[in-house]
């Protein structure tokens, strides 16, 4: 059963389309059999069938919440939630799909996602009507590569008016996606004894986008100042599994940006990275604080408004109030370590110690989530700039937040750029980072 720990391989693709007349005629006939009369229901049927065919019999995660699927920018078929729910239930009723309706399992603190899967009856429908993979498969329009979501708990995508920068970002992301489409990205398992390799997964039809966060709701233009992360399927696998990724038949290596947020801010403020060794090394009253706790506390301090809030968030991270602790052994071990440290060092003193250690950049701490999203965007911009430079040379680079996966032969060149931490090379006189930063502080 699919849950948040084992997500379905496919999510409902709102852009998928097919121009083949015979395939579309077969959808019309099926719609008549199912008794679907409304235009939005017919659109929903088309969208679901396209996804079910293209998923290769895998389960697909689908939304059933009574909320908009997405604004028109991200929903070119114009499918509403009511029509989607109706068609899902009708397809299930007539035996064309297996539908596992999502639910909340409070005892295990889980959200189970609704999934659908083709039945033998639907597969026979595809075969009878000669559905096949061809050039007729496409996207109704180019998938949106520059996304904007609300700064609320629901994190819904919202519409926006483009700017020169968002248009530029879209062009750069298009070039990156085209390069990935021309590359072979495999997950390969190698037999240590024989050296034989088996392809256990592959990444294709990738549409990687950057997702920004709207903080200023009074303007219609997109904000490209907050968030900006770029998520990919390999972000959901372990670091051990990522070592199995090959690019164009070559082994890869993953390199991490060390203390990327801290060092990025130091570069902005002083022109150099943190100069005194490990930025996450900290002692309080002569006692050393474990590095993972310092790192977590530092991240939290970029997103909270005061010391009390930072301490509360640190407690929630390591000692969450859950009925059944189903966290990994590694996470539980870190939580136990945090409990032991609390016996000798107060969490508030850890926060104050970090402020003292990084007094040069103290104005970036404890300014609230808006500042945290801004810092995240600065970091994401630098990650994307490195990706962008390799893309211009036809060298695919995969990213996992603040780390990079690249063919081993380019390791040194990647390391050189990581040491440089270049800002995003977008020339806009109104986009000066430091000017925006001080303006942001004055409004918090």
Q: What is the pLDDT of residues 362-380, one digit of tens each?
A: 999 999 999 999 999 999 9
CATH code for the domain in which residue 104 is found? 1.10.10
Considering its fold, how many domains does the chain have in total? Answer: 3
| Mean of all residue pLDDT scores within the chain | 89
Asked if residue 330 has pLDDT above 50, the reply is yes
pLDDT: is 10 or 194 the higher one?
10
Residue at 265 is within a domain: no
- CA count, 13 A, side-chain hemisphere, 352: 8
In a domain, 332, yes or no: yes
What is the pTM (predicted TM-score) of this model? Answer: 0.81
- The verdict on 211 and 164 lying in the same domain is yes
Range of the domain at 314: 280-357
- Digit-coded pLDDT (tens) for 112-166: 889 999 999 999 999 999 999 888 888 878 899 999 999 988 888 999 999 999 9
Q: What's the pLDDT score for residue 7?
A: 65
Same domain, 247 and 382: yes
Name which of 201-205, 241-245, 424-428 the model is least confident about.
424-428
Cβ atoms 265, 433 nearer than 8 A: no
Average pLDDT for residues 13-21, to the nearest whole number?
Answer: 92
C-beta separation of 157 from 147 below 8 A: yes
- Output the pLDDT for position 43: 96
Please indicate whether residue 316 or residue 139 has the higher confidence score (pLDDT): 316
In a domain, 273, yes or no: no
Q: Are residues 185 and 249 in the same domain?
A: yes
Per residue in 386-440, pLDDT (tens digit) is 999 999 999 999 999 999 999 999 999 999 999 988 989 886 544 444 444 444 4
Question: What pLDDT was estimated at residue 259?
Answer: 80
Distance CA 144, CA 149 (A): 13
pLDDT at residue 108 greater than cutoff 70? no
Do 152 and 133 share a structural domain? Answer: no
Question: Does one domain contain both 130 and 15?
Answer: yes
Residues 153, 132 share a domain? no
> Would 271 be classed as within a structural domain?
no
The per-residue pLDDT for 154 is 83
164 and 296: one domain?
Answer: no
The answer as to whether 293 is a domain residue is: yes
- Write down which residue in 119, 139, 159 finishes a domain: 139
Give the residue with greater pLDDT, 141 vs 226: 226
Domain end, chosen from 98, 116, 139, is at 139
- pLDDT for the residue numbered 192: 78
Please report whether residue 125 resides in a domain: yes
118 in a structural domain: yes
pLDDT for residue 105: 62
Q: Indicate if 22 and 94 belong to the same structural domain.
A: yes
Percent of the chain scored above 90 by pLDDT?
A: 70
pLDDT of 436 reads 43
State mean pLDDT over 93-122.
85
Q: What pLDDT does residue 375 have?
A: 95
Statement to judge: residues 349 and 401 lie in one domain:
no
Instruction: Give me the percent of the chain exceeding a pLDDT of 70.
Output: 92
Q: Which of 106, 124, 139 is the last residue of a domain?
A: 139
Does residue 254 sit in the same domain as residue 375? yes
Q: Is the pLDDT of residue 18 over 50?
A: yes
pLDDT of residue 218: 83
For the chain, the three-class secondary structure string (H helix, E strand, C coil) is: CCECCECCCEECCCCEEECCHHHHHHHHHHHHHHCCCCHHHHHHHHHHHHHHHHCCCCCEECCCCCCCCCCHHHCCCCCCHHHHHHHHHHHHHCCCEEEECCEEEHHHCEEECCEEEECHHHHHHHHHCCCCCCCCEEECCCCCCEEEEECCCCCCECCCECCHHHHHHHHHHHHHHHHHHCCCEEEEEECCCCCCEEEEEEECCCCCCEEEEECCCCCCECCCCCEEEECCHHHHCCHHHHCCEEECCEEEEEEECCCHHHHHHHHHHHCCCCCCCCCCCEEECCEEECHHHHHHHHHHHCCCCCHHHHHHHHHHHHCCCCCCCCCCHHHHHHHHHHHHHHCCCCHHHHHHHHHHHCHHHHHHCCCCHHHHHHHHHHHHHHHHHHHHHHHHCCCCCEEECCEEEEEHHHHHHHHHHHHHCCCCCCCCCCCCHHHHHHHHHHCC
Q: What is the pLDDT of residue 151?
A: 92
Within-domain flag for 4: no
pLDDT value, residue 104: 72
* Better-scored residue on pLDDT, 42 or 324: 42
pLDDT of residue 61: 94
Q: Are both 223 and 315 inside the same structural domain? A: no
Q: Are residues 172 and 256 in the same domain?
A: yes
């Amino acid at each position: 059963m699919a849950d948040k720990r084992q997500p379905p391989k496919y999510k409902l693709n709102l852009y998928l389309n097919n121009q083949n007349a015979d395939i579309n005629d077969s959808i019309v006939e099926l719609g008549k059999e199912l008794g679907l009369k409304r235009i939005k229901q017919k659109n929903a049927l088309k969208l679901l069938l396209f996804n079910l065919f293209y998923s290769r019999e895998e389960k697909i995660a689908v939304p059933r919440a009574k909320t908009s699927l997405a604004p028109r920018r991200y929903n070119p078929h114009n499918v509403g939630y009511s029509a989607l729910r109706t068609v899902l239930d009708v397809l299930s009723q007539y035996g064309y799909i297996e539908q596992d309706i999502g639910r909340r399992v409070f005892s295990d603190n889980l959200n189970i996602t609704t999934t659908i899967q083709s039945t033998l009856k639907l597969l026979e429908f595809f075969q009878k009507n000669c559905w096949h993979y061809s050039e007729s498969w496409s996207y109704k329009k180019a998938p949106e590569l520059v996304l904007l979501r609300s700064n609320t708990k629901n994190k819904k995508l919202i519409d926006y008016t483009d700017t020169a920068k968002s248009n530029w970002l879209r062009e750069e992301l298009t070039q990156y996606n085209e390069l990935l489409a021309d590359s072979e990205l495999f997950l390969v398992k190698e037999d240590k004894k024989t050296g034989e390799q088996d392809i256990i997964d592959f990444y294709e039809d990738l549409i990687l986008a950057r997702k920004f966060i709207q903080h200023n709701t009074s303007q219609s233009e997109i904000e490209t100042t907050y968030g900006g992360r770029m998520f990919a399927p390999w972000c959901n696998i372990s670091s051990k599994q990522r070592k199995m990724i090959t690019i164009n038949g070559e082994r890869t290596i993953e390199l991490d940006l060390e203390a990327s947020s801290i060092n990025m801010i130091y570069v902005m403020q002083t022109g150099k990275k943190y100069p005194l060794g490990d930025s996450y090394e900290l002692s309080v009253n002569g006692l050393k604080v474990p590095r993972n706790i310092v790192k977590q506390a530092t991240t939290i301090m970029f997103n909270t408004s005061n010391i009390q809030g930072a301490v509360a968030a640190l407690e929630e991270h390591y000692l969450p109030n859950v009925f059944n602790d189903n966290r990994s052994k590694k996470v539980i071990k870190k939580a136990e370590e945090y409990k032991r440290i609390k016996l000798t060092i107060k969490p508030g003193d850890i926060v104050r110690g970090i402020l003292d250690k990084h007094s040069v950049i103290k104005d970036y701490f404890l300014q609230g989530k808006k500042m945290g999203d801004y810092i995240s965007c600065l970091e994401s911009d630098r990650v994307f700039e490195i990706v962008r430079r390799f893309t211009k040379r036809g060298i695919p680079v995969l990213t996992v937040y603040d780390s990079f996966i690249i063919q081993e032969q380019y390791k040194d060149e990647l390391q050189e750029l990581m040491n440089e931490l270049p800002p995003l090379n977008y020339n806009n006189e109104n986009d000066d980072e430091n000017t925006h930063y001080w303006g942001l502080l004055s409004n918090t």
